[in-house]
């Protein structure tokens, strides 16, 4: 799978130019409306169509993309977060197994994806229970489709992949913490819940998707979002310190302080995969907040991106089934746009997507195949550059 990409992720000027040239998505459908005409109704899996011979998702090789085509569309979601007086508008991006191709390939930020098909007809799920679901949180100053290799691995293997654009923290928004609204630290987990609601209420994909038990991935700031959505508790004293730190666009209002104390965990998340971020954020969780997580976690880091926070988390956190892999040569963008100097994109993307899918298959699908077990217990390394550690 090869995606066309502007220069590295840090080349903001190139990204701005592309956005100005119309590289963004077309107008989204309204959440729950069923999308554009081409996406309405399950198309079935006619003989000879990609994936038509698949009868068990657990039988597909976990270390390669699967046979299903990738459909794509965008819906809108509007809600008013606690602590705010105005509506928050989200674009929720939906990728799903498709029954057909077309000539309408989407762009995600600076990326053009020739292997996804906008508004393609939905295929029929392999399992009558519906498509398994993974929800994703992008990093700061990024976009929903910023880990397209992960999208392709899951959707081609028969999953629905859903990701919101975190409004106010996107590609062209100010990248510095000093310019960041502090409310983003509770709005991001709420965006994840809203994205799952948008999928569940969608007239086409909702009835075909298993939204009650989902896996979650997140990159960088999305790693923090993943921890919180999985149940990590924000420490009241730590939050108060952040509110009064002067490090953000404005101090917390009283309503925002109350919002931080509200329920932010997403109970539909049953397995969480924070990547390159969120593992050492004791400035928010305090010393024990991460130990409040009750679902299995799989941390991923790269050796060139300061993995010490994950090592500290592994030793500090108790009572949480926790696995950690570190990828030798991996950098911060190993889990997103790539371009690391010490490991190829094809190698790093394959490592990340294989471990993510294996973990999700166990905890969402109940996959008990021997090879998956070996990959996740470390007795079979996906790549010799991987170091795996576990804490049950």
Tokens 């270390």 — which residue?
63
The answer to whether residue 149 scores a pLDDT higher than 90 is yes
Minimum mean pLDDT range among 13-17, 63-67, 116-120, 344-348: 13-17
Residue 340 domain-assigned (yes or no): yes
The percentage of residues in the chain with a pLDDT greater than 70, rounded to a whole number, is 88
- pLDDT tens, residue by residue, 34-68: 333 333 333 344 456 688 899 999 999 999 999 99
343-365 average pLDDT score: 98
Per-residue confidence (pLDDT) for residue 1, from 0 to 100: 44
- pLDDT higher than threshold 60 for residue 33: no
309 vs 41: CA distance, rounded Å: 46
What is the tens place of the pLDDT at every residue in 82-97?
Answer: 999 999 999 999 999 9
pLDDT score of 391 more than 60: yes
* Local confidence band at 127 (pLDDT 50, 70, 90 cut-offs): very high
Q: Is 28 a residue whose pLDDT tops 90?
A: no
pTM: 0.89
Average pLDDT of every residue of the chain: 88
Percent of the chain having pLDDT more than 90? 76
- The pLDDT value recorded for residue 12 is 34
Asked if residue 3 is part of any domain, the answer here is no
> pLDDT tens, 176-204?
778 889 999 999 999 999 999 999 999 99
Segment 309-334 mean pLDDT:
92
- Does residue 1 lie within any of the structural domains? no
> What range does the domain containing 181 cover?
8-391
pLDDT for the residue 319: 87
In a domain, 216, yes or no: yes
Q: What are the CA-CA distances from residue 375 to residues 120, 149, 220, 361, 369 (Å)?
A: 34, 20, 24, 12, 10
Please check whether residue 274 lies inside any domain of the structure.
Answer: yes
- How far lies 345's CA from each of 65, 337, 342, in Å? 15, 9, 10
Does residue 356 surpass a pLDDT of 60? Answer: yes
Confidence tier at 309 by pLDDT (50, 70, 90): confident
Tell me if 2 is assigned to some domain.
Answer: no
Report whether pLDDT(17) > 60.
no
Backbone phi and psi for residue 83, each to the nearest 5 degrees, phi listed first: 85, -5
Residue 315 has a pLDDT of: 87
Residue 298 belongs to a domain: yes
Is the pLDDT reported for residue 11 higher than 70? no
What is the rounded distance in angstroms from the CA atom of residue 238 to the CA atom of residue 243? 9
Contact predicate 347/383, CB 8 Å: yes
Q: Check which CATH number belongs to the domain holding 44 and give it.
A: 3.40.50.1820
Domain count, the chain: 1
């Amino acid at each position: 799978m090869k995606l066309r990409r502007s220069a590295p992720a840090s080349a903001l000027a190139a990204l701005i130019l592309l956005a100005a040239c119309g590289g963004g998505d077309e107008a989204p459908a309204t959440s729950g409306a069923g999308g554009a005409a081409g996406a309405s109704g399950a198309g079935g899996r006619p003989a000879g169509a990609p994936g038509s011979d698949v009868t068990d998702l657990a039988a597909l090789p976990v270390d390669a993309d699967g046979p299903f085509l990738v459909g794509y569309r965008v819906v809108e979601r509007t809600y008013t977060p606690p602590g705010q007086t105005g509506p928050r508008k989200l674009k929720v991006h939906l990728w799903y197994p498709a029954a057909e191709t077309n000539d309408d390939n989407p762009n995600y930020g600076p990326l053009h994806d020739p292997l996804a098909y906008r508004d393609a007809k939905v295929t029929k799920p392999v399992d009558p229970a519906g498509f398994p679901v993974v929800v994703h949180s992008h990093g700061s100053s990024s976009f929903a489709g910023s880990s397209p290799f992960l999208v392709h691995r899951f959707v081609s293997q028969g999953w629905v992949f859903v990701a919101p654009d975190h409004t106010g923290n996107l590609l062209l928004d100010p990248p510095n913490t000093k310019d960041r609204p502090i409310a983003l630290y509770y709005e991001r987990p709420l965006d994840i819940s809203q994205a799952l609601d948008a999928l569940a209420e969608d007239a086409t994909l909702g009835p075909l998707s298993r939204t009650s038990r989902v896996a979650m991935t997140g990159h960088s700031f999305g790693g923090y979002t993943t921890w919180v959505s999985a149940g990590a508790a924000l420490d009241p004293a730590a939050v108060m310190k952040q509110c009064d730190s002067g490090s953000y666009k404005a101090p917390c209002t009283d309503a925002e302080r109350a919002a931080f104390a509200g329920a932010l965990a997403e109970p539909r998340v049953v397995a969480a995969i924070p990547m390159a971020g969120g593992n050492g954020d004791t400035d928010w969780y305090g010393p024990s907040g991460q130990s409040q997580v009750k679902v299995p976690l799989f941390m991923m880091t790269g050796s060139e991106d300061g993995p010490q926070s994950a090592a500290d988390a592994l030793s500090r956190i108790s009572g949480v089934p926790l696995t950690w892999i570190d990828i030798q040569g991996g950098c911060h963008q190993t889990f997103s746009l790539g371009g690391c100097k010490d490991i190829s994109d094809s190698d790093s993307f394959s490592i990340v997507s294989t471990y993510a899918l294996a973990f999700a298959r166990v905890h969402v699908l109940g996959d008990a195949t021997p090879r998956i077990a070996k990959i996740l217990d470390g007795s079979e390394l996906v790549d010799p550059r991987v170091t795996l550690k576990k804490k049950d």
